[in-house]
């Protein structure tokens, strides 16, 4: 209550009580109990009371009017429109009405803001990018889970209120923040992060119109992108190198023959044979490169058909019969009993088997054996533990539900009794141009693309592959095709 108002109430009481006190009981008795004195006193005090209550009411009315006009102005300031005044009997009702409508609008706005805040929270928590908002002292006002995860913090870590410098230790990022603090200009930069990963950093001012400067930091994981760029660059370098070797050889021999220094027909024949070998090699490389890019880019549509795997295997066996015999290797086949049909692209399945058997023969010494086998593989939720086939493209091969499902595959296996593959090479075998021994592979006509092609055909079929090998004992390459 304002001081002035308290003072007026006090005055009103004094005005009421003073005449009464003055003409107290004693005074009445002294004046001989005259009633007139008392009546006069009462009248006087009533007049004074009326006057003071008038003053009080007038001041109250002014204040209430002020209050309601202030409420009205506040309403206009907040929502840029006049308050929704209905008809009011008096100022108190108007002030009350305005206060109520103000309270309602404030509640509505608070709910809306809370809703918005939750929406923003939900959106930034769903993002894979790390987001953090900081105040002018670089203290974190808000961040999402992805942000802390990028700095290897425990799940659910809350860094709100902490200085950025204390929690983020990446020197490159701190450097970016310093540059930003010095210039205030938007910064976009790629920086290395922990565990060999890479991040794209964007630092900007959040809402320039706010009086307090706020900084928005967005981190985007570009590790995968960098890897792909690197792979592409490696591929171009490798492919150029592979193409260059036979081309250099061919041009060398052609030059020698062209300048007339080879007059002996026997030598010329030898040279031509070498040139032909290199030309064949070039043709193989170009063929493999085209096959690979066609499958990878999905340019070549798969022609799915019901087929009998035994017939496909027999065809491959026949294809290699002569070559295997001259390399002193026996090929056999082993087809599981309960065989029905399989849906696959016949040419592509044949190509997988040709690439695998070609390797098996190439990397198996004389006297060795190569076996092509095929059987049904029924995987259920209960026995999926020993499945062991990886996903080649990130898509799940088996259902992700718990139990109660069965998925059927046809499993092929090409095994040999050859030289085997070192364990450390196994994870890299499907990479383009990866060979355990470059010179040996080339000498045997390899392009280093065979298993990469196999992998991509299997991806197109929704299948998978696994390789087991023991140095000096042999290799078994198994692959599955669904259905």
Is there a contact between 303 and 345 (Cβ–Cβ < 8 Å)? yes
- Please, where are the H alpha helices in 204-345? 223-258, 265-296, 309-326
Which entry of Mg ion, ligand ADP, none binds 421, CB below 5 to 8 A by partner kind? ligand ADP
Smallest distance from ligand ADP to CB 219, Å: 38
Smallest distance from ligand ADP to CB 275, Å: 21
Smallest distance from ligand ADP to CB 362, Å: 6
Q: Which of 19, 83, 446, 463 binds ligand ADP (CB under 6 A)?
A: 446
Which entry of ligand ADP, Mg ion, none binds 52, CB below 5 to 8 A by partner kind? none
The candidate with the shortest Cα–Cα distance to 23, out of 7, 39, 2, 6, is: 39
Binding string, residues 408-427; x marks residues near ligand ADP by CB under 6 A: --------x-xx-x------
Binding string, residues 362-391; x marks residues near ligand ADP by CB under 6 A: -x----------------------------
Residue span binding ligand ADP (CB under 6 A) among the ranges 4-12, 146-154, 400-408, 439-447: 439-447
Residue span binding Mg ion (CB under 5 A) among the ranges 263-271, 300-308, 411-419, 447-455: 447-455
Q: Which of 131, 164, 176, 451 binds ligand ADP (CB under 6 A)?
A: 451
Which entry of ligand ADP, Mg ion, none binds 75, CB below 5 to 8 A by partner kind? none
Is there a contact between 475 and 426 (Cβ–Cβ < 8 Å)? no
Residue span binding ligand ADP (CB under 6 A) among the ranges 44-52, 292-300, 314-322, 435-443: 435-443
Smallest distance from Mg ion to CB 414, Å: 11
Angstrom CA distances, 273 to 268, 276, 279, 409, stand at 9, 5, 10, 46
Is there a contact between 350 and 309 (Cβ–Cβ < 8 Å)? no
Smallest distance from ligand ADP to CB 285, Å: 10
- List binders of ligand ADP among 308-367 (CB under 6 A): 355, 359-360, 363
Between CA 55 and CA 5 the distance in angstroms is 10
Between CA 198 and CA 220 the distance in angstroms is 9
Number of residues that bind Mg ion (CB under 5 A): 2
Angstrom CA distances, 148 to 174, 224, 302, stand at 15, 19, 44
Q: Which of 45, 68, 351, 359 binds Mg ion (CB under 5 A)?
A: 359
**Who's near 207: CB < 8 A, 6+ residues apart?**
214
- Please, where are the H alpha helices in 80-139? 91-126
Residue 319 or 387: the one with the smaller Cβ distance to Mg ion is 319
Radius of gyration of the CA atoms of the chain, in A: 45
What is the edge-to-edge ordering of all strands in the sheet holding 140-143? 140-143, 130-134, 214-221, 198-206, 187-192
Is there a contact between 190 and 206 (Cβ–Cβ < 8 Å)? no
**Who's near 92: CB < 8 A, 6+ residues apart?**
64
Q: Which of 101, 436, 466, 482 binds ligand ADP (CB under 6 A)?
A: 436
Angstrom CA distances, 185 to 140, 177, 180, 215, 292, stand at 19, 11, 6, 11, 46
Instruction: For strands 369-380 and 330-335, give the pairing.
Output: parallel
Residue 38 or 360: the one with the smaller Cβ distance to ligand ADP is 360
Smallest distance from Mg ion to CB 447, Å: 7
Residue 418 or 450: the one with the smaller Cβ distance to Mg ion is 450
Residue span binding Mg ion (CB under 5 A) among the ranges 36-44, 182-190, 356-364, 405-413: 356-364
Q: What angle do CA 353, 357, 360 make, to 5 degrees?
A: 145
Residue 328 or 445: the one with the smaller Cβ distance to Mg ion is 445
Residue span binding ligand ADP (CB under 6 A) among the ranges 210-218, 220-228, 327-335, 436-444: 436-444
Between CA 442 and CA 244 the distance in angstroms is 13
Query: Which residues contact Mg ion (rule: CB under 5 A)?
Result: 359, 450
Site residues for ligand ADP per CB under 6 A: 355, 359-360, 363, 416, 418-419, 421, 429, 435-437, 441, 446-451, 475
């Amino acid at each position: 209550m304002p001081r002035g108002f308290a003072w007026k109430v006090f005055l009103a009481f004094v005005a009421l009580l003073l005449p009464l006190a003055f003409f107290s009981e004693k005074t009445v008795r002294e004046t001989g109990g005259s009633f007139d004195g008392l009546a006069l006193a009462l009248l006087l005090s009533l007049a004074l009371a009326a006057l003071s209550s008038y003053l009080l009411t007038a001041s109250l009315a002014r204040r209430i009017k002020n209050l309601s006009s202030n409420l009205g102005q506040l309403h206009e300031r907040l929502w840029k429109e006049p308050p929704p005044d209905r008809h009011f009997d008096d100022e108190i009702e108007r002030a009350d009405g305005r206060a109520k409508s103000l309270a309602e609008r404030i509640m509505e706005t608070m709910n809306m803001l809370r809703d918005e805040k939750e929406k923003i929270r939900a959106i930034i928590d769903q993002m894979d990018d790390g987001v953090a908002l900081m105040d002018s002292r670089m203290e974190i006002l808000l961040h999402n889970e992805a942000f802390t995860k990028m700095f290897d913090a425990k799940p659910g870590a809350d860094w709100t209120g902490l200085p950025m410098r204390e929690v983020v230790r990446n020197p490159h990022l701190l450097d970016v923040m310093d540059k930003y603090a010095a210039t205030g200009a938007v910064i976009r930069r790629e920086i290395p992060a922990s565990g060999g990963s890479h991040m794209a950093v964007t630092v900007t001012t959040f809402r320039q119109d706010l009086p307090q400067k706020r900084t928005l930091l967005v981190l985007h994981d570009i590790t995968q992108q960098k890897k792909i760029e690197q792979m592409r660059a490696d591929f171009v370098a490798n492919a150029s190198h592979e193409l260059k070797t036979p081309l250099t050889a061919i041009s060398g021999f052609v030059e020698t023959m062209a300048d007339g220094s080879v007059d002996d027909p026997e030598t010329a024949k030898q040279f031509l044979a070498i040139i032909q070998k290199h030309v064949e090699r070039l043709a193989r490389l170009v063929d493999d490169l085209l096959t690979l890019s066609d499958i990878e880019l999905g340019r070549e549509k798969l022609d799915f058909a019901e087929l009998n795997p035994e017939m496909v295997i027999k065809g491959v066996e026949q294809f290699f019969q002569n070559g295997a015999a001259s390399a002193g290797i026996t090929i056999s086949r082993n087809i599981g009993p309960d065989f029905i049909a399989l849906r696959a692209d016949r040419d592509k399945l044949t190509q997988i088997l040709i690439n695998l058997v070609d390797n098996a023969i190439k990397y198996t010494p004389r006297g060795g054996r190569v076996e092509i086998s095929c059987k049904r593989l029924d995987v259920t939720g209960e026995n999926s533990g020993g499945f062991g086939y990886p996903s080649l493209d990130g898509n799940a091969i088996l259902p992700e539900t718990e139990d109660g499902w069965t998925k059927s595959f046809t499993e092929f296996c090409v095994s040999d009794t050859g030289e085997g593959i070192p364990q450390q090479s196994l994870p890299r075998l499907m990479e383009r141009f990866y060979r355990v021994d470059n010179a040996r592979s080339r000498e045997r006509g390899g392009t280093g693309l065979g298993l990469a092609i196999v992998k991509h055909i299997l991806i197109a079929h929704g299948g998978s592959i696994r390789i087991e090998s023991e140095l000096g004992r042999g290799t078994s390459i198994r692959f599955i095709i669904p259905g």
